[in-house]
Amino acid sequence: MAWTREQMAARAAKELRDGFYVNLGIGIPTLVSNYIPEGMSVQLQSENGMLGMGPFPYEGEEDPDLINAGKQTVTELPTTSFFSSADSFAMVRGGHIDLSILGAMQVAENGDLANWMIPGKMVKGMGGAMDLVAGVKKVVVVMEHVAKGKDGSESPKLLKGCDLPLTGTRVVDMVITDLGVFSIDKEGDGGMTLIELADGVTVDEIKARTEAAFKVAV
Amino acid sequence: MKKVHASAKEALAGVLRDGMTIMAGGFGLCGIPNVLIEAVKESGVKDLTVVSNNAGIDGAGLGLLLETRQIRKMISSYVGENKLFAQQYLAGELELEFNPQGTLAERIRAGGAGIPAFFTKTGVGTLIAEGKEVRNFDGHDYVMETGLFADVSLVHAWKGDTEGNLIYRKTARNFNPMMATASRMTIAQVEHLVEPGALDPDHIITPGIYVKRMIHVPDVEKMIEKRTTREKPAA
């Protein structure tokens, strides 16, 4: 049994620490906010200019001036501060954010990340992804272990080297997929290590569905 | 010198010309100078280079200037919500320069602050760094990015006094304060126009020196791109 999206988010939440300032990407990473342990103080940063992001508003209380980086309506908390985009990315680039959790198309065994562009398809833009992976202290990718084609075919997303245009080089510290958890030695030559298995998943199954070389420490 | 003008059309009089570069504040549809954009549309000025984080959506914001094909080039970080944009881009009618969002914000801040270039680690080793100088500081590579300066900046603020001092509201601040500094002709639309002295000087985000013209937009329409809510807990 592979992990569900919710289980992947719950696993990612284990990387949170008391006092952390965290940026969550769109998709599964957003779900991580539902798993912040009781009593732990975690402030969410939204790169459009907000620190201390609250939950979605009650119906009828939406404020067009109060949105997150996914352009969704959100709310303030007593801890909230607002600032400009330049201040927001000073915070990001300057290494003041503790943790970034985001999705990916491909991750390489050296920590290279591709998540913004497929050549030949309409490119939407990188938004703040390149700044986040370059500047945030710890970068955790949450993604499906393989990409599934329309015809049901599978292609690996954990690769020896990314073939899509990069978002950043040697930036990913950890990858959480539906099959398990990998750590990456992005600064050194330690490569990728499988450190946890999802319930009922075997190392052999992961090996069969992974192109990247990895050590096993489960 | 009188900064406040009676209409967007009057505020834009004499400043628009074909081929110019315009900055437009906002993130998505939040904090966009929509009344001023509408007036740019009505002016018919064309071949514009527009610096803005996004390109509006179909039928709103900068999407209006795409409909009329007044934009030749966009400098943005994300343009995903606009089908017309995709069509014009894929047809080769629209030029596009993607900047990482933080690099875009900093290029504008630098341009306004008289800084011609800076080094950032964002984008090192990616397509963004191609053709740009890369320099090593303390063992790490950084790519050189240049400051941005426009002919005209259009911004939206919550409150402004007649001297051009501006205060923004919540996440509608976004790119507006930097863009206000990065042109010789910054025009602001403000929801609440007040007399000097009515704003607490400690709360002013954009000092009036940057703002050349203003209009009052008391009933401005604000759109929500993605309305997300949660259930009220049972009493």
Answer whether residue B171 is part of any domain: yes
- Say how many domains are in chain A: 1
Instruction: Select from A196, A198, A200 the least CA-distant residue to A216.
Output: A196
- CATH code for the domain of A190: 3.40.1080.10
Give the pLDDT of residue A123. 82
Residue B98, chain A, CB below 8 Å: the answer is yes
Which DSSP symbol is given to B27?
B
User: In sequence order, what are the beta bridge partners of A52?
Assistant: none
Answer whether residue B30 is part of any domain: yes
Answer whether residue B88 is part of any domain: yes
Three-class SS state of A83: coil
- Say how many domains are in chain B: 1
CB contact (8 A) between residue A124 and residue B79: yes
Domain that holds residue A35: 5-216
Answer whether residue B57 is part of any domain: yes
- pLDDT(B234) > 90: no
Residue B191, chain A, CB below 8 Å: the answer is no
Contacts of A49 in chain B (CB under 8 A): 27, 171, 173-174
Instruction: Fill in the amino acid letter for A199.
Output: D
Contacts of A64 in chain B (CB under 8 A): 29-30, 172, 222-224
Domain that holds residue B98: 4-116+148-216
Whole-number Å distance between alpha carbons of A31 and A54: 13
Instruction: Select from B73, B63, B72, B70 the least CA-distant residue to B26.
Output: B63
DSSP string, B108-175: HHHHHTT--EEEESTTTTSGGGTTS-EEEETTEEEEEEE---BSEEEEEEEEEETT--EE--GGG-TT
CB contact (8 A) between residue B125 and residue A92: no
**Residue B167: partners with Cβ closer than 8 Å, 6 or more residues away:** B157, B158, B159, B160, B199, B203, B204, B205
Catalytic (active site) residue A47: yes
Sign of the alpha-carbon torsion through A191, A192, A195, A201? negative
What is the Rg, in whole angstroms, of the alpha carbon atoms belonging to chain B? 18
Contacts of A83 in chain B (CB under 8 A): 173
Mean pLDDT confidence for A28-32: 94
**φ, ψ for residue B101 (rounded to 5)?**
-55, -40
Contacts of B169 in chain A (CB under 8 A): 65
Q: How far is CA B62 from CA B48, B66, B71, in A?
A: 12, 7, 9
What pTM value is reported for the model?
Answer: 0.97
Render pLDDT for A139-190 as a digit per residue (tens, 0 to 9).
999 999 999 988 989 999 999 999 999 999 999 999 999 999 999 999 999 9
Q: ipTM exceeding 0.85?
A: yes
* B168 CA: distance to closest CA in chain A (Å): 9
Whole-number Å distance between alpha carbons of B155 and B178: 10
Give the pLDDT of residue A135. 98
- CATH code for the domain of B77: 3.40.1080.10
CB contact (8 A) between residue A85 and residue B227: no
Set A47, A62, A76, A205: catalytic member: A47
Report helix angle A85-93 to B101-112, nearest 10. Answer: 120
Answer whether residue B131 is part of any domain: no
- When CB atoms are compared, the residue of B30, B105, B122 closest to A134 is B122
- The percentage of residues in chain A with a pLDDT greater than 90, rounded to a whole number, is 94
